[in-house]
Amino acid sequence: MDFDIAIKMRQIYFPKAEFPEWVIDKENWLTHHFIKTVVFFNKDDDIDNVKLMIKQREPCNMGNKRFYNKKALLKDFFYEEGAYRLSTTDKLMPNIAIYCYATVKSKRGFINVHCINLVGFAFDSPTQPDYQYFKKKPLEELIKYYNKMWEYAFRCALIKKKEEQINKIQIYNVGGGAFAGPYGYDFIEKIFEPSFLPIKKLFDDNEIKIIGYDFNKKKFSGGSIPLIFDDEKEDYHHTLYVNAWDPWSLIGNGNSIDNSLDGAWGRCSNMSVLGWYETNKLMKMVEV
């Protein structure tokens, strides 16, 4: 059973890095919206590698340091490290995005929100495959990859807009935090805007409002997760939220020991199990 698999995986994390215990409560499990999960991937990528990326996920990887029992992962799931290990200096494993209709625990109780998990490119350690791949390539190559990542967000938003579920997207600085590495303070100007502005036109043309970023001040202004859901004025019913995910881990990564946006989503939601194939074989695939 997928439920038993989730319990096994949770036990493999180092203490305090695991996803919330309420996620594997039997009564809660029956309410998780597994069937609504959607994987977005590049149509030019090898489909077998895409499938590996949704199957072989690590419990927790921060700065390319692993916070889980590798022997237990090998014993229970037959791999020690995530599929991103197969990246080389010539070719990266596929960059994917996963949409979840997430259950979030807030002060008002359990609510459901739309969230698209985007994977930025990791320059937080010279050992990261992304660092090795892009270090000898022009900046335009990295911008191209980020442009495709933001296209996933647009395609997801467009689908949800046509289904009359959302009318806005709240964006965050995906890749611009710890992942930015040597790009540091120049990330917004040199990478984010050049990659996002071409996609912004698509959002505008389809009347999907972009919130969470001031284009005049060049500053992100999104609220913190999950505190924004405590505000009764927060229109979470009609908003697609962005999470800055990781190429290695389950959604949520280090959860309670992770100060990133991904950790914040992980410790308040059930996306760890919604977005992993081994606990959710109902997820759909959409090529972009």
Listing DSSP states for 193-253 in one string gives HHHHHHHHHHHHHTT-EEESEETTTTEE-PPPTTGGGGSTT--GGGEEEEEEE-SSBPTTT
Whole-number Å distance between alpha carbons of 88 and 39: 23
Q: What is the pLDDT of residue 1?
A: 63
pTM over 0.75? The answer is yes
Number of domains in the chain: 1
Q: What is the pLDDT of residue 237?
A: 96
Q: Which phi and psi (to 5°) does residue 56 adopt?
A: -95, 80
Q: What is the pLDDT of residue 152?
A: 98
Orientation angle between helical segments 2-12 and 70-77, nearest 10 degrees = 160
Domain coverage including residue 23: 2-287
Q: Please check whether residue 128 is in contact with residue 248, taking contact to mean a CB–CB distance below 8 angstroms.
A: no
Q: What is the pLDDT of residue 210?
A: 98
Q: Please check whether residue 239 is in contact with residue 169, taking contact to mean a CB–CB distance below 8 angstroms.
A: yes
Residue 184: alpha-carbon gap to chain centroid = 21
The residues, ordered by sequence, that sit 6+ positions from 255 with a Cβ below 8 Å of its Cβ are 13, 16, 17, 18, 19, 20, 60, 263, 266, 267, 272
* Helix or strand run (H / E) with residue 119: strand 109-119
For residue 15, give Cα distances in angstroms to 53, 59, 70, 213, 285: 25, 12, 14, 35, 33
- Ranges of the chain whose pLDDT falls below 70: 1
Amino acid at 6: A
* Helix or strand run (H / E) with residue 140: helix 139-162
